[in-house]
Structure 1
Amino acid sequence: MEKLNFNGRLVGPGEPPYFIAEIGANHNGDMGLCKKMINSAIECGADAVKFQSWSSKTLISKAEYERNTTYTDTNRHFGSLKEMVDKYQFTHEQHLEILAYCKTKGVEFMSSAFSPEEVDMLLEMNVPCIKLASMDVNHIPLLKYVGSKGCQVMLSTGMASMGEIETAVNTLREAGSGPIALFHCISIYPPEYKDIHLNNMKTLEQAFDVPVGFSDHTIGSAIPLAAVALGACIIEKHFTTDKDMDGWDHWISANPAEMTVICKDGMNVWKALGSTTRTVSEAEMEKRTKFRRSMVTTRAIKKGEILKAEDFDFLRPGTGVGPEELKYAIGRKAAQDLTDGAEVKWDDFA
């Protein structure tokens, strides 16, 4: 399996999980707010911040705009769909501003591309990979274009059948793509737990021999941590500094407290997975003497007596004859007098 390489950071099985704070359009068109979110994501432990590179022309049709001119939910919407897209789109100038800011902060800048023009823009910015959203799993022309660039690709698989995913992966590979990572994803905000099927990550890994991550739309931190435990190489989680802020995705995004848990405890979960080889640490070996049991007498024993199993019990600490060694004591003679409850040593046997 070919791992991804994000500016020297390998991503794939056996490597530490990679945590992406998906700011997306949560900047609400405000670059000051965007920078505050980047700072907060870094404090939480995110390896990268990710955005969405679309414009009012590359995402939605004119007819769809005309069908969506007003909304009753004024917390997540204002005005018409066209007005929101115009405000929340990430312009070329904003891309450059935020890329430069990420460089000064030492955090990776990533983004999802939604058109060939946006692919070219991101590659000119030397992003480490191109992210493709679930909506474009069946966008064969875009997949071919991205693959022809030879770049690394992260592809979300929400709403897609295995056949569609196979076609997408084959299209990328046949076009000349670099290493590919697939994201297990449920494109419901938020999904019901019964519909998440985290075990699908192993299915994708086995079927396509690629690193597999999890693009999460659940509320809270439990499910991404479970994904790490099941082998997710990348965790992508929507992020905001305030769930109550006006905008599309703030309410289903992780806040700083939740993102900190995901990043910090996610890394702890990965460390705890360890190896499939059974080992006992030095610290545990030292615990043996305190936690295990040793042989003690259950009565006073005279020198020369033949020893029987009922003459012994086993109590802490584990500094003497162990219970697994009882068979070597039975039938032997006592080498000296032993008091009731004495800790038995090997030289107490004749």
Structure 2
Amino acid sequence: EFSHAQYRELQRYAQEIGIFFTASGMDEMAVEFLHELNVPFFKVGSGDTNNFPYLEKTAKKGRPMVISSGMQSMDTMKQVYQIVKPLNPNFCFLQCTSAYPLSPEDVNLCIITEYQKLFPDIPIGYSGHETGIAISVAAVALGAKVLERHITLDKTWKGSDHSASLEPGELAELVRSVRLVERAMGSPTKQLLPCEMACNEKLGKSVVAKVKIPEGTVLTLDMLTVKVGEPKGYPPEDIFSLVGKKVLVTVEEDDTILEESVENHGKKIKS
């Protein structure tokens, strides 16, 4: 174990290089010491998550809390939420399976989405002990807002935790991959994007005349088809709305049906 002086030295170095410093306080005395260090948040390890007196005292300190959920049931996590929430609303849960190294079959990333449903007012994250970075990146894609991984300088060192940890190069790759996924998450609004315009101009189709349609003809579905046409006209999804409308000019076979060629153009026919 580190001495208090060593923890202070680690904190000083973390501040020097611009990263947060904290630790998992394994008992109430450790939490008091971390509180004295003015850490930015408390980490509650999975082994203390169902220690409700410990949770209460930690929550009352008023610092943000990151709470792992390894070895716990959903009923226990609901109790944890009910205990911590009134005392300190600034906390999050991490989906975690306490095995080192963790096999993919036991990761249960789906619990992230279940936590999001049950606890929509707190951030949900992931604490991983698997090998590699792919599963952790997938957790971010599922909406994990906090990601915890252990790091080591040598996976062959004694102790099961080292084999489940990331070496510095893997950690750097994890950060790059997470930032890439964050960019790729984008917007939930589905729409034609500016980057798609060139492809749409080349491959986007329009409603065209399947046969020659004389001026004054009332359109039926068998007169129309969908093809790549120039200039662009009605998009394919409007083909049914054209049925029953009258053309104002003669439209030759394979010509695009233009809005100005149809009565009440741009107006949907009410069924």
Give the deviation of 1:153 after TM superposition.
1.0
SS of residue in 2 equivalent to 1:113: coil
Tell me which residue corresponds to 1:116. Answer: 28
- CA contact under 8 A between 1:146 and 1:177: conserved in structure 2? no
- CA contact under 8 A between 1:320 and 1:344: conserved in structure 2? yes
SS of residue in 2 equivalent to 1:108: coil
Tell me which residue corresponds to 1:181. Answer: 92
Tell me which residue corresponds to 1:159. Answer: 71
- CA contact under 8 A between 2:101 and 2:160: conserved in structure 1? no
Residues paired across the two proteins, number: 252
Correspondent of 1:103 among 4, 11, 15: 15
- CA contact under 8 A between 1:240 and 1:253: conserved in structure 2? yes
For residues 183 and 122 of structure 2, the distance between their equivalents in structure 1, rounded to whole angstroms, comes to 21
Correspondent of 2:129 among 196, 212, 217: 217
Greater shift, 126-135 or 238-247, is seen at: 238-247
1:277-292 equivalent positions in 2, closer than 5 A: 277-292=189-204
- CA contact under 8 A between 1:156 and 1:183: conserved in structure 2? yes
For residues 118 and 225 of structure 2, the distance between their equivalents in structure 1, rounded to whole angstroms, comes to 58
SS of residue in 2 equivalent to 1:215: strand
Higher RCO structure, 1 or 2 (CA under 8 Å, sep 6+): 1
User: Does the C-alpha gap of structure 1 residues 113 and 343 become closer, same or farther in structure 2, counting only changes over 3 Å?
Assistant: same
SS of residue in 1 equivalent to 2:21: strand
Greater shift, 103-112 or 251-260, is seen at: 251-260
Correspondent of 1:191 among 102, 124, 139: 102
Q: Does 1:314 align with 2:227?
A: yes
Greater shift, 218-227 or 192-201, is seen at: 192-201
Q: TM-score, normalised by structure 1?
A: 0.60
For residues 58 and 94 of structure 2, the distance between their equivalents in structure 1, rounded to whole angstroms, comes to 17
For residues 248 and 111 of structure 1, the distance between their equivalents in structure 2, rounded to whole angstroms, comes to 20
Give the deviation of 1:146 after TM superposition.
0.6
SS of residue in 2 equivalent to 1:249: helix
Q: Deviations over 1:169-225 (max 9, x none)?
A: 333345x23511111100011233222221112222332332111000111111111
Q: Does 1:266 align with 2:178?
A: yes
Tell me which residue corresponds to 1:142. Answer: 54
For residues 30 and 150 of structure 2, the distance between their equivalents in structure 1, rounded to whole angstroms, comes to 21
Q: Which runs of 5+ in 1 are unaligned?
A: 1-88
1:230-309 equivalent positions in 2, closer than 5 A: 230-293=142-205
**Structure with the largest fraction of strand:** 1
Percent of aligned pairs with the same amino acid: 29
Give the deviation of 1:293 after TM superposition.
4.1
User: Does the C-alpha gap of structure 1 residues 319 and 123 become closer, same or farther in structure 2, counting only changes over 3 Å?
Assistant: farther
SS of residue in 2 equivalent to 1:98: helix
User: Does the C-alpha gap of structure 1 residues 344 and 213 become closer, same or farther in structure 2, counting only changes over 3 Å?
Assistant: closer
Alignment-mate amino acid for residue 129 of structure 1: F
Correspondent of 1:133 among 37, 42, 45: 45
SS of residue in 1 equivalent to 2:10: helix
SS of residue in 1 equivalent to 2:23: strand
Alignment-mate amino acid for residue 186 of structure 2: G
- CA contact under 8 A between 2:234 and 2:257: conserved in structure 1? no
Give the deviation of 1:149 after TM superposition.
1.3
Alignment-mate amino acid for residue 154 of structure 1: V
CA RMSD of aligned residues (A): 3.6
Q: TM-score, normalised by structure 2?
A: 0.76
For residues 100 and 345 of structure 1, the distance between their equivalents in structure 2, rounded to whole angstroms, comes to 71
Alignment-mate amino acid for residue 142 of structure 1: Y
For residues 285 and 329 of structure 1, the distance between their equivalents in structure 2, rounded to whole angstroms, comes to 31
- CA contact under 8 A between 1:289 and 1:319: conserved in structure 2? no
